[in-house]
Amino acid sequence: MSVAAPTYTADEMMAVAAARRLQDGTVCFVGIGLPSQAANLARATHAPAAVLIYESGTIGAKPARLPLSIGDGELAETADAVVSVPEIFTYWLQGGRIDVGFLGAAQIDPGGNLNSTVIGDYERPKVRLPGAGGAPEIASWCRETFVMLRQTPRTFVERVDFLTTVGRPRGGGAGVTCVVTDLGLLEPDAETGELVMTELYAEVTADDAQQATGWDLAVAADPRSVEPPTTEELDALRALEPVAGETVVS
């Protein structure tokens, strides 16, 4: 990986970049993998009052180590409350109470639309992906949605094979406001809504980003440079890792 400095991985850079964007007290709707790393890193560093909600029904979970699945017992034990799944998706998510939702995806298009359903044709897919899960309503009803995925020409596509999640939905939230990749960050243009590369990691160039994108990428005139992870951030992130032999594969 051209962007990975010897002391941290691309995933660590992504988790750190996302974590920095969370303010203290932010209420987050979190999935497993990078989003969970980012939200828990924020909680362990500058945002101790961040509230983590997992779709399994745990509100205010405070795991000491990263959960291995979305319904991990650690989440229930450390949560302020455990509610049913129907309640999480009604009173809490569609009720419009969440500040930031996190999503992954297999594909994203310039409008921030996401595909997590199939690669290829729906009826005869090349790759059958897991499906929608909570994504469509997360993007519609959280005030903001952060997407985290690796930037490649196969993932950043002109047109998604299947539109699972609308990037700028008509719901109560702003939709996708930030895409965190292994090269930097993209944000939607205030007028057109098209994703613009606004921040780049150390040693990443605008040309690197264009090469990794399946459309004619807009790059900000003077993209901000993202500071590499600090020692404090890396220590905190690594302290969250599950015990050896139980690595989370995200």
Residues near another protein (CB under 8 A) are 25, 27, 32-33, 51, 55-60, 68-73, 75-76, 80-82, 84-86, 88-91, 93-97, 117, 122, 124-128, 130-137, 140-141, 162-166, 169-172, 242, 245-246, 248-250
Cβ proximity to another protein, 110 vs 228, nearer residue: 110
Pick between residue 12 and residue 55 the one whose CB is nearest to another protein: 55
Question: Minimal distance in Å, beta carbon 178 to another protein?
Answer: 20
Cα distance between residue 177 and residue 236, in whole Å:
26
- Complete DSSP assignment for 58-117: EES---SS--SSTT-HHHHHH-SEE--HHHIIIIIIITT--SEEEE--SEE-TT--EE-S
Nearer to another protein by Cβ, of 221 and 243: the residue is 243
CB of 170 to another protein, least distance (A): 6
**For the stretch 156-174, what's the b/e string if a residue is b when 16 or more beta carbons lie within 10 angstroms of its beta carbon?**
bbeebbbbbbbbbbebebe
Q: Are 193 and 160 in contact (CB under 8 A)?
A: no
* Burial (CB count within 10 angstroms: exposed 0-12, middle 13-18, buried 19+), residue 49: exposed
Instruction: State both tokens at 204.
Output: 């990443």
| 168 sits in which H/E element | none
User: Which residues form the catalytic set?
Assistant: 55
Q: Which of 59/185 has CB closer to another protein?
A: 59
- Rounded to a whole number of angstroms, the minimum distance from the CB of residue 204 to another protein is 27
Q: Report the alpha-carbon distance of residue 18 to residue 37 in Å, rounded.
A: 9
DSSP type of residue 182: S
Smallest gap from residue 88 Cβ to another protein (A): 8
Shortest distance (Å) from residue 165 CB to another protein:
7
**For residue 48, what are the CA distances in angstroms to 13, 105, 156, 220?**
20, 28, 33, 32
Comparing CB distances to another protein, the nearer of 126 and 222 is 126
